Amino acid sequence: MEAGQPSRTALRAAHSRARHQGDPRRILTDPLAPRILRLDADDLPPLPEDPTDKFGIRFLAARSRFAEDALAAAVASGTRQLVVLGAGLDTFAYRNPRAGLRVFEVDHPATQAWKRQQLAAAGIAIPPSVTFAPVDFEHDTLAGALAAAGLDRARPAFFLWLGVTPYLTRDAVLATLRFMAGHHAPVQAVFDYCGEAPPTLSPQLRAVREAAAEMVAELGEPWLTCFAPEDIAGELQAMELGRVEDLTGRELIARYVDEPVPDADAVSARVLHCSGSGAVRRFGDQCGGDAAETGPGVDPGHGVVAW
């Protein structure tokens, strides 16, 4: 992401969500997705026929649907705080049907300023339940920004972190997960990650994966980190964050689409739902307290990306 500019991959993800609204097998209903881009239905190209491109758009919709379904269950159990890391142009906070749910949107100041301009131009009101938590990691920390925004670390919280981890270093990803694990009350999180390319990946899909990596690198937001499922599972276990589910893109889409899902997952994208009891506070003690857990150069909120 260029200094002073909004995330370009956030814009690509928003376009994909908007295009998905025309999918006859729609997974995520988001009437605000085209509006925040100030687009009419006639302005959007139809869903692509290419199975890999169609898979990518449906995956973006499915990961949001999965996260919002998990959030609904958490709210039903008493959670009243949602933290959206790397909110980009995500619209959940502006169509939030969960009464009493406070939403904290974390992102780079430039991306948040751009989003607020888009919301105003589209006539989309910012509800009082939304709090913006801008983070410039040259000067701020995630813990400091959320504390200033009013997140209560002693009350249950849900973290939504989509389309960001591939663009961070491994250390930055794990530091952010430790921040979540250090919550002093029950906590849940849904995040996605780039899986390591399996040796069985076909030459065609391997070429698609390489092309996608080159494209985002040219946008200034290169992929930096991928995880093997057993690797991320071990890291979460060490943090006492238990995996609820860890789904491949094909498994995820198959939950919502009543037609065969093609083997078109070039990025080997996965979505993981984890939870913690919040009873153990040692993470903050080991890392020098919450304020030290996420420091300069660790940017979990640089944007929402389209794989």
- For residues 59 and 75, what is the distance between their CA atoms, to the nearest angstrom? 24
pLDDT band at residue 257, thresholds of 50, 70 and 90? very high
pLDDT band at residue 266, thresholds of 50, 70 and 90? low
Higher-pLDDT residue of 285, 247: 247
Angle, nearest 10°, between helix axes 142-149 and 170-181? 40
In this prediction, residue 237 carries a pLDDT of: 96
Question: What token pair was written down for 211?
Answer: 């092309």
CA angle 248, 300, 274 (to 5 degrees): 45
Tens digit of pLDDT for each residue in 35-63? 999 998 788 888 898 888 899 999 999 99
Tens digit of pLDDT for each residue in 160-172? 999 999 989 999 9
Strands 157-161 and 242-248: unpaired
Name the β-bridge partners of 83. 104, 159
Tens digit of pLDDT for each residue in 74-88? 999 999 999 999 999
Strands 157-161 and 130-134: unpaired
- For residues 84 and 151, what is the distance between their CA atoms, to the nearest angstrom? 12
Angle, nearest 10°, between helix axes 229-238 and 170-181? 40
Which domains are present in the chain? 8-293 (3.40.50.150)
pTM score = 0.87
